Amino acid sequence: MRIYLIDDEASARSSMERVVREACPEAELCVFSRGQAALDAIENEGLRPNVVFTDIQMPGLSGLGLAVKLRTACPSAKVIFVTGYNEYAFEAYQLHAHGYVMKPLRTERIREELAYLAEFTAPPPKPEALTVRCFGYFEVFWKGKPLHFQRNQTKELLAYLISRDGAACTNEEISTALWEDEANPRATSNRVRTLYSDLNLTLKEIGIEDALIRHRGSIAVNRERFDCDFFRMQNGDVDAINSFRGEFMVQYSWAEMTAGMLIFHF
């Protein structure tokens, strides 16, 4: 594990290094007096940290500013703010920080933070789960390769069901979302049934037909069979939240409302 320690005050920096080394003696510690120096080490030297402990108030690039830049420079880094003031707690919450520790630092408190990160770091996707990316363009992967759909609208049906976050959807709801200008309800209802059969067959061929739930004229997805950034965001996963850049299933116009809701809430 590589841990970044950042504080502009020499005494605080020395104390932080001592406490973190006591809490995690096996870690590689990289110590910086400026946020920009830490960012340069990532961007120019490729030294990507697993965890970043940073003071908030610093000359130049503040800890809050660094956290924003890390979303792009090193999205997997877990940021824990270290400060002598609790007035920044709200800003830290808005940035979806992984932790917030008050000075003076204590070894046991740092151990607790690192143990929390280890416990709640998302495990790798299960082999039997479909990997779904909703942020940006909607894409579906099976065992690391794009899943092939016989029809483009079969993929769109799956996208819509996932956007409903596991809620059951009737044929009418699906028809309205996917073909809002269609004047023939019966034709669109038949189209939904055709796409459902195609989607069910596609999933059956890879052995996860139970990813769909059909009950009394409604369809839903079984959230447990998907490794999905949108689902993880809804569950409060900080890494998923930080990976959201305001774009959600951008190839589908009906997804714009959900994108707006996510921007408002996250």
Hey, which residues does 214 pair with through a beta bridge? Answer: 219
Q: What is the mean pLDDT of residues 117-125?
A: 60
- Whether residue 91 is predicted with pLDDT greater than 60 in this model: the reply is no
- How far apart CA 93 and CA 12 sit, in angstroms, is 23
Domain residue extents for the chain: 2-120, 130-265
pLDDT tens track for 173-184: 999 888 877 767
Question: Helices marked H in 164-246 — which ranges?
Answer: 171-178, 185-205, 229-234, 238-243
- How far apart CA 83 and CA 221 sit, in angstroms, is 43
- Whether residue 99 is predicted with pLDDT greater than 70 in this model: the reply is yes
Instruction: Report the top-level CATH class of 130-265.
Output: mainly alpha
Question: Which of 71-80, 135-144, 174-183 is predicted with the least confidence, judged by mean pLDDT?
Answer: 174-183
CATH 3.40.50.2300 fits 2-120, yes or no: yes
- pTM, entire model: 0.60
Q: How confident is the model at residue 97, as a pLDDT?
A: 65
Q: How confident is the model at residue 122, as a pLDDT?
A: 53
